[in-house]
Amino acid sequence: MLGDLAKAQINYTAALNLAKAWEAAKPTDPLRRQELATVFAGMADLEIRLGQVHESVANYRAALGVLEPTGAGAPEGTRETAGVCYNSLGKALTGVGPLAAALDAYRSAAKIREGLVEQYPSNVRYQRRLEVTYINIGLVLGSEGGMGDPATAAVYLTKGREIAERLANLDTSNKQAKDDLAGVYQNIGRVQSRLNPAAAVDWFQRSIAITRELLDISPVSVDYREWLGIREREVAEALGRTDRIPGALSHALASRDDLIDLIRSQPPRKDFSGDLMRSYCVLADLQHQAQDDAGASLSQQGAMHLFNVVEAGEENLSTDYSLAKCYEVFSRIDAAHSSEWLQKSDERWQRLTAAGVHR
């Protein structure tokens, strides 16, 4: 797989050189500029898959530099491509920071996409893309691992939810619309999980119900299986915050088992390992609260066996945040080494706060 991606990167480099020469021959041609920007963005997308996120940021910015200006007077195709690039840039910066720059990129994407929706109100693709950007803004602002502004986040999440619900109702057989709606409900739960965990539980359960419905339609879908494992973990954590420990344990165990089954059935993937590590950490915390010290210790060991896989490659904020939270859990269940685990957590938090993550 990595060999195929490496070959693709070589081919993209060649395509980029050709696109640069073609655009340079007639730099005022908007179609040539858009083509060059598309190749820059394609290279950046590939770098994301290769774990080269910092490099992707440079190429998304290069694409946007080619497309400028992208205001209301620019061609429709130019504006659409710029919206995609700004949204992708925001996603990349959400991974490596700073979060303030990610928020700026998402807001630029939202401005462009709002204009497109206003001008082409019947275009469902433009509506969906605006929904995605609104949700991304909400997550950066208000989720755990975000900037600590849940009030403003709620405004954008509501806008995104309204679009997602409307699109899902337009065609109740549309799996993509259902998948989008499940993701929106999940992300609302993420933002509410710390401040209002009881409400978060309801949103997560709505998301899980849709995910199970999608799995009934496509039982071998890797994406739906992964999302179910993640969402089971998130509802478990929210239930734990409302002191409903038996229910929380049930969901945490389901998350662990779902993800183990997924990993056993698929080629190795770092994101699956990260999902399972987080599941083990939440389970360990809940087992500790239930005074199941032996179970908590086994879950801690399960998480620790995955550390090397999760930490490999380029550093990112998601990994830092997940490890910081795991270390905090270990400090509670491993009393003999509590101070060491807290120190390791603090080291991760130093990087997180420097990138704008609210503690």
Q: What is the DSSP letter of 28?
A: T
Residue type, 343: Q
Neighbours of 39 (CB within 10 A): 24
Do the Cβ atoms of 321 and 348 come closer than 8 Å?
Answer: yes
CA distance 155 to 188: 11
Per-residue pLDDT tens digits for 100-127: 999 999 999 999 999 999 999 999 999 9
Neighbours of 217 (CB within 10 A): 11
pLDDT of residue 13: 94
Residue type, 240: G
Give the fold, CATH level 3, of 1-113. 1.25.40
The Cβ-side half-sphere exposure at 236, using a 13 Å CA radius, reads: 27
pLDDT of residue 43: 95
Neighbours of 253 (CB within 10 A): 18
pLDDT of residue 84: 97
Token pair 């919206």 is found at 83
pLDDT of residue 346: 98
| Consecutive H or E run containing 132 | helix 124-142
Joined together, the tokens standing for residue 303 give 């998480």
Joined together, the tokens standing for residue 315 give 């550093």
Single out the residue of 225, 230, 203 nearest to residue 214, CA to CA. Answer: 225
Low-confidence stretches of the chain (pLDDT beneath 50): 1-2
Single out the residue of 118, 132, 193, 188 nearest to residue 163, CA to CA. Answer: 132
pLDDT of residue 104: 98
CA distance 357 to 245: 29
Question: Could you report how far apart the first and last alpha carbons of the chain are, in Å?
Answer: 37
pLDDT of residue 168: 97
Taking the alpha carbons of 288, 293, 299, 301 in that order, is the dihedral positive or negative? positive
CA distance 8 to 14: 10
pLDDT of residue 313: 83
Domain spans of the chain, in order of start: 1-113
